[in-house]
Amino acid sequence: MLLAVDVGNTNISMGLLDGKTVKASFRLTTNLQRTSDEFGFVVKDLLTAASLTPEDIEDVVISSVVPKIMYSLTSCMKKYVHKVPLVVGPDIRTGIKVVTDNPHGVGADRIVNTSYAHYTYGRSCIIVDFGTATTFDYVNAQGEFRYTVISPGLGISAAALSGMTAKLPEIEIKKPESVLGTTTITGMQAGVVYGYIGLVEYIIKQMKKELNDPDCYVIATGGLGRVIAPETDEISEYDPDIAYKGIRILYDMNKEGMHNENI
């Protein structure tokens, strides 16, 4: 069993993979103050919930965009799972060539996503990841990561609307039945969700136009992708488990160099 850990700015997602199958997944908030022991207690509880023990974990792979959390998290894996994790970074094999003005500025999460898309579909893809920010990443059929678009996420948009106004409340992010709001809350939901559908559709269409790639395959992922993906034909597929599956691909490419026998 592989433990795949995806550390984002808002949440840490952990997936347990048996081969290529995601058997269980868990999510906790990204708390920079957690110690390695606190992480360890969480990991042990999650394994118990899945009827597993640390001995069932063959290896651990971590993809992270939060450097400050890595010491505690890697120490946790060594102490409680008895594995030295493989960390997604510039020193591992990915098969993805980053062809941008600043290749080192591309986060591990983006490499994981584009690796999954490239090795799964073997064609040009746009990966739309609905996280704290929403990213639109383009990888061509040759595995070259060339372009990206970054927008404020759905959660950020909703929080800004309530947080920067005197009387607008916090809202649940869901699509109301109509764009014509009849209350303050449904009006805000309409503006945020229908507005975001328009943002997503326009960016994808414009990317395809400027790339001259109208048949580019579009994959959506990320928790809030479930709100937007069903509402537009511009998204070809929604898969919330891309990060875990991409981590599995990178693990298979790099596992020969991992030595955990005596940890």
* Residues involved in catalysis: 109
Q: Are 31 and 67 in contact (CB under 8 A)?
A: no
Helix axes 154-163, 195-211, angle to 10 degrees: 140
Tokens matching residue 43: 């990991």
Q: What are phi and psi of 39, to 5 degrees?
A: -60, -40
The helix or strand, by DSSP H or E, that contains position 6, with its residue range, turns out to be: strand 2-7
Q: Is the dihedral of CA 119, 247, 69, 78 positive or negative?
A: negative
DSSP string, 141-156: TTSEEEEEEEEE-HHH
E runs forming strands in the chain: 2-7, 11-18, 21-29, 59-64, 86-87, 97-98, 125-130, 133-139, 144-152, 217-221, 237-238
- 87 within 8 A of 74, measured Cβ to Cβ: yes
Number of residues that this document lists for the chain: 263
In whole angstroms, give the CA distance from residue 162 to residue 180: 19
Burial, 106: exposed, middle or buried (Cβ in 10 Å; 0-12, 13-18, 19+)?
middle
